[in-house]
Chains A and B, each alone.
Chain A
Amino acid sequence: MTAARRRPDELFAEMQARTQRSTHRTFVWLFLVQWAIAIAIAALTSPWTWAGSSRSVHPHVWISIGMGGVLCSLPLLLIRLHPTWVVTRHLVAAAQMLWSALFIMLMGGRIEAHFHVFGSLAFLAFYRDWRVIVTATLTLTIDHLLRGVLWPDSVYGVANPAWWRFLEHAAWVAFEDAILIVSTTRAVLDMRDAAHREAVLEQTTTVIRQKVEDRTRQLRETVERYRLLVESTEAIPFEYEASERRLAYIAPQAAKLLDCELADLQARDFMSAIGHTADRPRVYAAVDAFLRGERSPREPIDHRLISKHGRVINVRIFLSNCTGTRIRGIMLDVTHQIQLETELRQAQKLESVGRLAAGVAHELNTPIQFVSDSVEFVRAAIGDLVGVVEAQREALDAALAGTLSPPLAAQTDAAIANADLPYLVEQLPRALDRALDGTRRVATIVQSMRAFAHERRERSELDLREAIESTLTIARSEYKYVADVELALEPVPRVACYASEINQVILNVVINAAHAIADAVAGSDRRGKITIALRQVGDQAVISIGDTGTGIADDVRDHVFEMFFTTKPVGKGTGQGLALARSVIVDKHHGTLTFDTEVGVGTTFHVAIPIVPPARETEGADPAAA
């Protein structure tokens, strides 16, 4: 028989054992209570027996104590020592019926005392064993037979009962026995059914428990996986309760980042306490805007935190969602990234400078060349003029001495003629003008280079016209062979911005325009046109840089602002120019960088910069400056 098939029988046996133990406990109490009641009855109804005026304890009291003790002794001992033995419950049954006999006797055979018999049988039915009821009935029968013959008063209450009184008593007991045996048998059948159901339930429970354990294990693994994921990445998820200004949760790696204990992180106002003073209003404003639904989850909040050790940490926060005033998001340590971006911008600038160096050198060489030529001409002309002056001085000296001879006069005249004085008079000023112009052009280029390379870490007011012109000056070598530049620069207020970075943006776009035109006119003698317009639109200054180049193909339009995306051949472009331009304009200046393009016609980039930076920006400082 398999374990599964045996299980109902095992459970039935367990239930029976439980029932018997429970019934044993009931009888332990019942015996003790009956004993106490028997003593109480004797003590209350006949405490004393008298002989005249002297008294002694009534024998009923001693009988109750002694006989009660005897009746309790062996059943309680067996219940204690051998609760599962069959004989134990049969002895309990016999003892209980003898208790009935004792009570009937103590109460003078009163008919009401016989109810104890029926109650006792009912109690014995708790064992759910019909044989116990049979034992009880046999005990009762023997007692009634013996006492009915020897001492009928103690059973029937009268000395000479009718012969049928025994049968009457027996009939009532048999009636109750029948009821109890039927109900006990049914209870046993019910118990067997229950055992069967429990076995089925156990089996089902085992299957379910196994499933639950499997699912729990899977869940635990998933939780562990997520925990490892959450706690081992550089991104630090957090939950911030805005109403309490407290972090409800933050991944533990934050403690390491911020040089503090994990418990510190959840203290009220902790983030404010470690937030950079200059950034705090901006961060609060951003959080409030997010709670009001006015700020997109895609907009990062960059700000600085000061660690316990005084380290400045640049963090970027993305708020993803909120429930009431509870906000969830992630925090990224971007300190290194910002350093890299700064270095990248600088590298890109150096790259531009490097690439432009040849052109700039050429631009410098041309004016220097004609300055040199002009100076050379002036030097030669001065030599001629010195020769004329010396010839004329010699003629003058001879004339003053009265020795001027016609040959000397002819020689002097020849010297004047050789010097070609009209020519010199005409060309010398021009040569000097050219030299001066060349010098000015060199100065302009140098000034432009200085302006371009000017590195300031804070905002300064920039004249965009000058910025455009300077940038064009140093980029001239990039476009002068393929395009003409047309400027339409309207006066606009000076813009508070990071000047060197705006210059870099203009340069990048102009160079791209030149390259696009070069591609478009390659193999022909056509020249393209770069149109640069500056105007004010609302509170923004807009620089539009258009070209008549190839235009941007449909399939690359969505990628032009991606870092390291380029369509240029190796050595001509690195794919950083427009990506950095967008970062500078959009992220740093809160402006826009857009473009219109048509393949084969050209492209126009529109750089829009707020003339006055947004309030939230002016309250803080450049995160990159940290």
Chain B
Amino acid sequence: MKDFPEDIIYSCEHIWVKVDGNMATIGITDYAQERLGDILSVEFIENDTYVERDETFGSIESVKEVVDLISPVSGTVVVINEDILEDVSIINRDPYDTGWLVVIEMDNLEQLEDLLAASNYHDFIAQEESE
């Protein structure tokens, strides 16, 4: 059974967001890491770079596949998880905690309203898998 913590919100691009004031900690969901399989590499745009919602903030590579990381919010990337740059397998092992990717300082909190609660994300996946 895939894990869908309820204290975070989700995007249709399989990114989770944990909000603390105007800071958004961002990672990929358990579902996403499972679909990708063993993650081999990850890269991000540079720290202090502004990223628009729905723009790429990095890429992730599993065996033979490169996938864009799509930002669910607009803002400035203020922290990058250096630990995963050292050991990328953390993302597979612990996607919701130590496997977080970046922190974005948001400038439009209203965008959070477009993201999904855990139950809605669960339904979205079920629909996507049935198509």
Partners in one complex: no
Q: State the B residues within 8 Å of A (CB).
A: none
